[in-house]
A and B are shown apart, each in its own frame.
Chain A
Amino acid sequence: MEMLKLINVTKSFGTNEVLRGVSLSVRRGEIVAVIGPSGSGKSTMLRACVGLERVSGGTIELAGRALVRDGVYVRDREARDICSRTGMVFQHFNLFPHMNVRDNLCLAPVLRGLLDKKAAAERAAELLYKVGLADKADAMPSELSGGQKQRVAIARALMLSPDIMLFDEPTSALDPELTGEVLTVMRGLAADNMTMVIVTHEIAFARDIADRVVFMDGGVIALSGTPAEILEDPPTERLRAFLRTFSRSAQSA
């Protein structure tokens, strides 16, 4: 079954076309890594899938339910409902700074009446254990490192038992020595067969974890294939050039 399906999605800011007909489908349990130069539309595509960007045309379906069909959005209430079956992890974590870690996790499921307080607290404890932060339930976000914050953000998204998890450059705001702990948590999700779409600059991680790698360039999906096809033996000069900038920066770092 397809958990996420985009058909010919377009989006423009004024005269600037950010997405120029993106089609992508992600099966249940599949892990798709999205790579590409900045400005290629990766983040915009991901954000459109949870309604944070409004697309100009095309169709987006989440777990079989259309959020947009041929450029026409469903009603706002339904859109919220569809999108909330999707977990989103942001580059800058976006934890709520005025609540401790437990309340960050419990707020949405309790307010939305999905779990009562006690069940939410138990589920939060489980998920914090899973991301290796069982002892941080009472900590405030300001007391955590970037890697810990991102792990909390992942746990928070998991509280709603999402059908699919979307990651928007989850390690880009982290110091290099902190990316490992976040990637480990994501590997754990992969082992649980979570469906994931990951926009990332971590090429090695993409090769390692993804079932499929998608190369976006200029608002379209330029190439799509297995990690071996895309990363080991890049078929186009554009992709080779893009990958070279990474190996260079990796060497200089």
Chain B
Amino acid sequence: MLLKGIGFTLALFAITIVTSIPLGLGLTFLANSRIKPVSLLTRAYVLVMRGTPLMLQLFFFYFGLPFLPYVGKYLIMDRFPAACLTFALNYAAYFCEIFRGGLMSIDKGQYEAARVLGLSSFQTTFRIVLPQMVKVVLPAVANEAITLVKDTALASAIGISDLMHYTRSLVNSRAEVTPFFFAAVFYLLFTVLLTRLFSRLEEKFKF
């Protein structure tokens, strides 16, 4: 039973990571857009997503959306998709800020060198700027990933049968505390694994 819970926890983690990072990068470009309304809107989005509790956002997307007038009936989602969507949108906002900071750290001279060599802005972004940004943001991304491992436990609040959910019900039904320890060890191991993975990545991006 706990294993099934771990499955949901891992799936939520994986889906959030692979969707929120590209989404966050997209938001970064929008936030830096020269079109003022686009950048303002993006920044407002980031402010709201970072400025309100993830738990509240979960409740909003799962319980709240269906109550919206007119469109509500089209926005009824199962628990798991609702959780994935919420996590992806929430983490994308954090990644957006991390990437924005990373972009600001790139020396102006890099853009100038690329320009005088005749590279297009697309080539400059993908061949010159992003690889250097990755190096800068890796530690912060690792930090977010570790936070996400533990944030997945929030999904049990909308009734997803993740590791936290099963752990709680085991503790209640058996009246013993060991499942809590088991869950703690799992989250801890997962974190250790991620830490290792990211330090290896950081090693690779040393230049």
Residues of A that sit less than 8 Å from B by CB: 50-52, 80-81, 83-84, 86-88, 90, 92, 94-98, 107-108, 111-112, 140-142, 156-157, 160
Contact = CB atoms under 8 A, between A and B. Distances in A.
A83 B116 contact: yes
25 contacts: A50-B115, A50-B116, A51-B115, A52-B115, A52-B116, A80-B120, A83-B115, A83-B116, A86-B116, A87-B116, A88-B116, A90-B112, A92-B109, A94-B109, A94-B112, A98-B135, A107-B117, A108-B117, A108-B119, A111-B123, A111-B127, A112-B118, A141-B207, A156-B117, A160-B118
A84 B116 contact: yes
Contact of A90 (B113, B128, B205): B113
B74 to A, nearest CB: 43
A51 B118 CA distance: 11
A84 B119 CA distance: 9
A96 B113 CA distance: 9
A81 B113 CA distance: 15
Interface of B: 107, 109-110, 112-113, 115-120, 123, 127-128, 131-132, 135, 205, 207
B109 to A, nearest CB: 4
B112 A108 contact: no
Nearest to B113: A94
A182 to B, nearest CB: 17
Nearest to B128: A96
Contacts of B123: 111
Nearest to A107: B127
Given A90-B113, A142-B207, A98 B132 contact: yes
A123 B54 CA distance: 56
Nearest to A86: B116
A94 B110 contact: yes
Which 9 A/B pairs are nearest by Cβ-Cβ distance? Answer: A84-B118, A108-B117, A94-B113, A94-B109, A88-B116, A98-B131, A98-B207, A50-B116, A111-B123
A107 B107 CA distance: 19
Which of B110, B113, B119 has the most chain A CB atoms closer than 10 A to its own CB?
B113
Contacts of A83: 115-116, 118
B107 to A, nearest CB: 7
A179 B127 CA distance: 30
Contacts of B112: 52, 90, 94
Given A50-B116, A94-B112, 4 more contacts: A86-B116, A97-B207, A108-B117, A111-B127
